[in-house]
Each structure stands twice: as C-alpha cells, then as structure tokens.
Amino acid sequence: MLIELALALILAKLVDEIFLRKNQPPVIGEILVGILFAGIAFLLPDSIIVGDYSFPITFDIKHPAFDFFAETGILLLLFLSGMETNLKQLKKSSKAGLLTGALGVLVTFLFVFLFIFFLMHFGLQKSIVVATIFTATSVGVTVRTLMELGLLNTKVGNTILTAAVADDVFGIILVTVVLSTGDLVALAIGLLVFFLGIYLVYKFDLMEKVMDATDNSLHAQYSLISISLGLMFLFAYFADLANIATITGAFFVGLFIGQSKTVRKIIGPLKMIGYALFIPIFFVKVGTLVDFQHLGCFNLWLLAIIPIVFAGKIAGCFLGSKLGGLSNKESFRVGVGMVPEMEVALIIATLVYASGIFPEVVGVQIITTTILYVIISSITVPIILKYLYRGRKYESAS
C-alpha cells in the first residue's frame, strides 16, 4: 500500500508539471497515471521465480487505505467547491447565467437519458443515473481560454461563470436525489430532515457563528482547519444518515463556511492539504478504475454519449443564454464554453461505480466513457472557442 501511495503522489505531481507546461488540465495527467497503474496491475505476474525461489509481487491499487485517501479527496473537492461558491453573487446573478445553468443541466440530462433508455435499453433507474453523470460542467479550461483572449470580462464570460456556479448547485441537488438509497418513504423523510437542517443552518448563520467562536476562543495550533474538516466529515455523515450522497453534506458545509469572515484564513491551508495529498490520489484512483480485463467487451455504443453530451450542453446553454437576452453568436459561444466536464462528472461516475448499481463490467465502461469525455472536451473546447473568436478584440461586458 505504501509504495502505491508513494508512486501515485510523486508521479501525479511530475505529470501535473508536464500538463501545465502544455496548457492542459493537470487532472488529465493524474488520471493517466491511474490508467498506467491499472495496466501495471493487469500485466504484473503474481510472483517472479528465480531458481528455486519464488518472490511474490504485489501492486495493490484496491487497498482500503488507497480508497480512504481517494474518498477523502472526493469530499475535499466538493468542500472546496462549496467554499469558492459566492452565494451572495449567485443571488444577484443575471437571469442569463441562471437560465443557462438550469437548461444546460436539463437538456443534457434529457438527451443522454433518452439515448440510454430507448436505444440502449438500460432501464429507468440506470438511465437516470448515467444521464446524471454528464450534467455537471467544469469551465476551468474555458475560463483560461477566455482569459488568454482577453474576453473573460464580457457578456459571454460573465454568463459562463454564473452558469457554472448554478450548474454545480443544480447538479449536486440532482445527484442527491439520484444516488439516494432506501425506500421512497425513507428517502423522502431523509431529504426533508437533511434540507430542513441545512435551511436552519443558513437561516440563523450557525456556521458563521461556529467559525467565529472557534477563531476567537480556540488558540491551539490550526484549530480553524481541524474544526472545518471535522464539520465537513460531520455533514457528510449526516447526509449518509439521510440516505443521500455524502458529497452533498461536504458541499453545503463548504458553501456556508465560504460565506464566513474566517474563510480567508482557512481556504489556503485546506487547498494545500487537499491538492498536495488527497485530491491527486482521488484522480489517480479514477484512472485505476479503467480495468483492462473488462475492456475487451467494451460496448462501443456508449461512445455515442460523447457527441450527445456535446450537443446537449450546447443546445441547452444556447437556449438559456438566448432567453437571458444574449445574441445568437454570444449564446452559441456560451454553449461551447459550457461543454467541458471534469471533477464533478468524475466524482459522480466514481460514486456510481462504487454504489453497485451497475455490474462491474458496465461500471468500468461508464467510467472509461466519462474519462474519454473529460479528455476530449478539455482538448477540443479551447480550439473551438479560439476559432469562434478569430479576429476578435476585447469586447465590453456592458
């Protein structure tokens, strides 16, 4: 287990550097490290025989400790995502951004669901689950491209930024429902109790009061960091207790802490903890789920999901932007900018795989399709955006 963790961290950061220098998302490199690990585990023999002696070989990428680091990375990703979501700004956000986020999720969900349900005959629950994986947008590569072009502070740029935040919130709510467990009554009660608790925490600013009290009263080293992480695990536990996805609890506690005055003191150290240790392990773990043993029977029809998601994102976000008052050209650019998917899609796909909703062979194929979409969208969207903005200079957001 120790050698696997050591190699995962060292190789992940070395590959991160390579991808950063090539202006590509480091996440892709970390996933490729995981795929490399999966290939090594597949090809390595159980032992090497030298003379009369047999030396066992172990490369255990499915060790519980490896899973613990990866699962903690999932929680930290959503926790940090919540902390970086500006709730006040979201409330003031433009109609175009909110409509773009909502319709981007809805139309993409419908496109994928209809394909999986009617053409691949996956059944209702499984079709809903697969469709949910591809709803969440990650606009990191889009934002970087618009910044390079000097076009981030424009109608298109501002709409994309707002829509991405709304998209995450809608996506988390959708995941909460889809990955809930238990019977219908237990699910309804769990959702009611959990979100009632979330509302009370928000209504009475309980999280901010807890963080302020911690900051003012506890003087032990790194108390704020420890309390924050403790609250993340606690709310994840409450979500699990309510039969909903643990990431929901992590996201909302991060959202509330992110509105407090203490956030500036903790977000840096938490990012350091997350991105130095746990989060790279999670993405490496995602790559290890590409099981070479099962890829020989890969259902090539699943690859059709990739252009379907492209079409769904562009169509839904185009419609939302158009209804929000943007021109046809601006709306199309927003649609293209909302195509990439990254962390949240991979998290949902991983949770789906772990849930046992699908047989292992199908689960591996869905993970592989998700990874392919992440890579293809991350590479193609900057190229398309630069083509759409060819010859254009900076345009005002007003």
Question: What three-state secondary structure class fits 115?
Answer: helix
pLDDT value, residue 394: 44
pLDDT 10s digits, 360-389: 899 999 999 999 999 999 989 999 998 999
**How far, in Å, CA of 77 to CA of 22, rounded?**
24
Q: What is the CATH number of domain 2-388?
A: 1.20.1530.20
Asked if residue 46 has pLDDT above 60, the reply is yes
> Which residues have CB under 8 Å from 271's CB, separation 6+?
80
**Dihedral over Cα of 376, 379, 382, 385: its sign:** negative
pLDDT > 90: what percent of the chain? 57
The 3-state DSSP class for residue 55 equals strand
Half-sphere exposure of 91 (CA within 13 A, CB side): 3
> What pLDDT was estimated at residue 101?
92
Q: Mean pLDDT in the chain?
A: 88
Q: Which residue has the higher pLDDT, 90 or 324?
A: 324
What is the dihedral sign for C-alpha 373, 375, 378, 380? negative
Q: How high is the pLDDT of residue 391?
A: 66
* Per-domain residue ranges of the chain: 2-388
| Residue-by-residue DSSP string for 180-213 | --S-HHHHHHHHHHHHHHHHHHHHTTHHHHHHHH
Give 292's contacts (C-beta < 8 A, 6+ positions apart).
Answer: 38, 39, 42
- The per-residue pLDDT for 284 is 94
> Which two tokens mark 323?
């209804």
| Short-list 181, 195, 232, 264, CA closest to 76 | 232
pLDDT in tens, 195-249: 999 999 999 999 999 999 999 999 999 999 999 999 999 999 999 998 888 988 9
pLDDT tens figures, 145-178 = 887 788 877 889 888 988 887 887 788 788 887 8
- Comparing CA positions, the residue from 285, 265, 163, 155 lying closest to residue 221 is 265
**Amino acid 397: pLDDT:** 43
Mean per-residue pLDDT for 321-326? 93
Strand partners, 56: 47
Q: Which residue has the higher pLDDT, 392 or 397?
A: 392
Q: Which two tokens stand for residue 258?
A: 């992110």
Instruction: Give the pLDDT of residue 398.
Output: 39
Higher pLDDT among residues 110 and 144, named by residue: 110
In sequence order, the β-bridge partners of residue 53 are 50
Taking only the tens place, the pLDDT of each residue in 83-120 is 987 777 666 656 888 899 999 999 999 999 999 999 99
Is the pLDDT assigned to residue 7 strictly greater than 70? yes
